[in-house]
Structure 1
Amino acid sequence: MPGKKKGPQVGSGGQRRRGLEGKGPTPPAEMRKGHAKQRAAQAKARRAQGRPQRGGPRGGKGTSELVVGRNSVVEALSEGVPANALYVQQFIDNDDRVREAVRFAGDRGGIRLVEAPRPELDRMTNGLNHQGLVLQVPPYEYAHPEDLAAAAFDLGEDPLIVALDGVTDPRNLGAVVRSASAFGGHGVVVPERRAAGMTAGAWKTSAGTAARTPVARATNLTRALESYQKAGLTVIGLAADGDVELGDVAALDGPLVVVVGSEGKGLSRLVGETCDLRVRIPMPGGAESLNAGVAAGVVLYEAARRRA
């Protein structure tokens, strides 16, 4: 009985010729999906619009946050902390702080005003003393660590980046973001775990600069630093027992990552071993250490002075 298997085909039916035809010119890097220059162009466009940066792989979104209490809500709104909803308790005593919060939310636009019964606010806040006001802060959209350097190179500038190692106080993160913005830094990198994130407290301390200075999040800080080194950046770590004084570091006017550890423990072992240099800030007044925000500000100022 003859089989059903087909014999060899004769000719290619023109497929070979079409396969040899060109596919047109290669698109520029800015138009190729996933290319570092495309991510840099997108990040630059978002900064121009004053929006937080979107995350890529190892970036991504944080978690939503609730700000509770009349004073805290008003302060967050007045400092420009991003928000998408203001919950006001039904039949609340309409004092000055409540009116101020509602006015701020209305003036800002894009913030929903929601009237809710007290039991609902109690449930949302797990019984915290919300005083009838709850502000919902959307998740922060983190950048990808590589985007920070790519955006700087795209602007024709040497990257100036701060990486935080084990810094858990959001106010220190906000202070570093503010210093980076003031001295021409291109962004801040934080680890994904056991580190401060862009909470409402960090936003407030940044005094609005977090809207234009991107914060990136790395799954593994050591690997992120190694990636920067491969891209041509010098990585210096601040340490009280550093081998070189800040004033003697020649790399400050080139592509640079400044790593700042926690005030108590300093740099972790792996991060310290990854750094190209361990640098100390001279403190003739005798202080043993500086907090992360102050230490970063000192180095960023010196780097900006050299670059100028």
Structure 2
Amino acid sequence: MTDNSKSARPRSRPGQGAGSFKTGHYKKGGGKPAPRRPGLPPEGPILLYGLHTVEAAFANSDRKRLKLYATENAQRRLEERGVTIDVPIEPTMPKALDRMVTKDAVHQGMILEADPLPAYGPEHLTGARLVLALDQVTDPHNVGAILRSAVALGADAVVTTERHAPEEGSVLAKSASGALDMIKHVRVKNMARFIAEMNDEGFGCIALDSDGDASLEDTPFTDRTVLVLGSEGKGVRHGVREACGLTARLDMPGEIRSLNVSNAAVLSLYVARMKMGL
């Protein structure tokens, strides 16, 4: 855990990228950090920056907040928006904040040091009706944008694999613009097994594929649905498609026939809401 008793401010370490700030969990006797499965929440604090990201983190009861580094203007903006700042505040000049994050990161005068969110699992999907699953979508900007769209369109959760998916961090949180703290981000070890379990729970599972059996608009929906999108290029993997049972395509009328995965997620969620009467 970081020692905040001294005036030194945390800075991102070489190789961590995205301005993330982590402290390793070391084995007894010191040495290198113990190995950790990829895709799980980081070990140790992370840095969240930007007005919407920080505001949402303060509103999330599941988020353990540690310390706020902020300019006087940024602190005043948070207070004017009704944010209750329940952690120690270290007044910090903009240039010092710049050094805490990566180049060109738009921190808007505030950086919140916080613990990662709990590792949500399928057991947290009780009562869910519309779930979006991402099969090995690895770009944190895309996943962040998808989280934001999922919140905007009323999805109940976004599911990713533990491996081949971005871990929680500054880039993902900033790209989500607060949505990371507004929706359950569930991580599963095996996507095909997860889909099979959701089928057993009565969900209709639909894999989006350019060669799908029918357009998404013409695909039958149940009152509980999992939409599955794959990575750009590879798409949804064969075993995951097989587990879904249904495949659907997004028919594009223009000369470009495919969409970026984050755009495909928006359109898919919109169609699903219309079909499900949500």
Question: Structure 1 residue 80 and structure 2 residue 56: aligned?
Answer: yes
> Which residue, out of 220, 227, 230, partners 1:250?
220
**1: CA distance, partners of 2:203 / 2:120:** 18
1:168 aligns with 2:138: yes
What amino acid sits opposite 2:68 in the alignment?
L
Match of 1:100 among 66, 73, 88: 73
Q: Quick check: 1:79–1:207 contact (8 Å CA) kept in 2?
A: no
How does 1:60-71 map onto structure 2 within 5 Å? 61-63=41-43, 64-66=45-47
Could you tell me which runs of 5 or more consecutive residues in structure 1 were left unpaired when the two chains were aligned.
1-58, 68-72, 89-97, 153-158
Count residues in correspondence.
223
Q: For residues 99 and 74 of structure 1, do their structure 2 counterparts lie closer, same or farther at Cα, with a shift above 3 Å needed?
A: farther
- Identity over aligned residues, as a percent? 33
- In structure 2, what is the Cα distance between the partners aligned to 1:105 and 1:228? 40
- After superposition, the C-alpha distances for 1:125-156 in whole angstroms (9 at most, x for unaligned) are 6x9679998642321223212321x223xxxx
Which residue pairs with 2:87 in the alignment?
111
| 1:136-175 paired onto structure 2 within 5 Å | 136-148=113-125, 150-152=126-128, 159-175=129-145
* Counterpart amino acid of residue 65 in structure 1: I
Is residue 264 of structure 1 aligned with residue 264 of structure 2? no
One-letter identity of the residue aligned with 1:290: L
Residue in structure 1 matched with residue 200 of structure 2 by the alignment: 230
Amino acid at match of 2:206: I
Q: Could you give the per-residue CA deviations for residues 56-108 of structure 1, whole angstroms, max 9, x where no partner exists?
A: xxx974443235xxxxx4446665345522357xxxxxxxxx33344457754
Provide the C-alpha distance between the structure 1 equivalents of 2:239 and 2:212, rounded to a whole number of angstroms: 15
TM normalised by structure 1 equals 0.61
Q: How does 1:1-308 map to 2 (within 5 A)?
A: 61-63=41-43, 64-66=45-47, 73-75=49-51, 80-81=56-57, 83-87=65-69, 98-103=71-76, 108-114=84-90, 135-148=112-125, 150-152=126-128, 159-251=129-221, 253-308=222-277
Q: Secondary structure at the match of 1:136?
A: strand
Q: Deviations over 1:188-224 (max 9, x none)?
A: 1111111023433333343434433211111111211
Q: Within 2, Cα distance between the matches of 1:178 and 1:265? A: 23
For the Cα contact (< 8 Å) 1:77–1:104, is it kept in 2? no
Letter in 2 for 1:151: G
Contact 1:232 1:255 in 2 (8 A): yes
TM-score, normalising length: structure 2 = 0.67
* CA-based RMSD: 3.4
One-letter amino acid of the structure 2 residue matched with residue 140 of structure 1: L
Query: Quick one: which amino acid aligns to residue 225 of structure 1?
Result: I
What is the CA-CA distance between 1:261 and the residue it aligns to?
0.8
Q: Name the aligned partner's letter for residue 99 of structure 1.
A: E
Asked whether the equivalents of residues 212 and 248 of structure 2 are also in contact (C-alpha less than 8 Å), the reply is yes
Structure showing greater radius of gyration is: 1
Structure 1's 277 and 227: CA in aligned 2 closer, same or farther, altered over 3 A? Answer: same
Q: Deviation at 1:241?
A: 1.9
Q: Is the 8 A contact 2:55 2:78 kept in 1?
A: no
Return the structure number with greater helix share.
Answer: 1
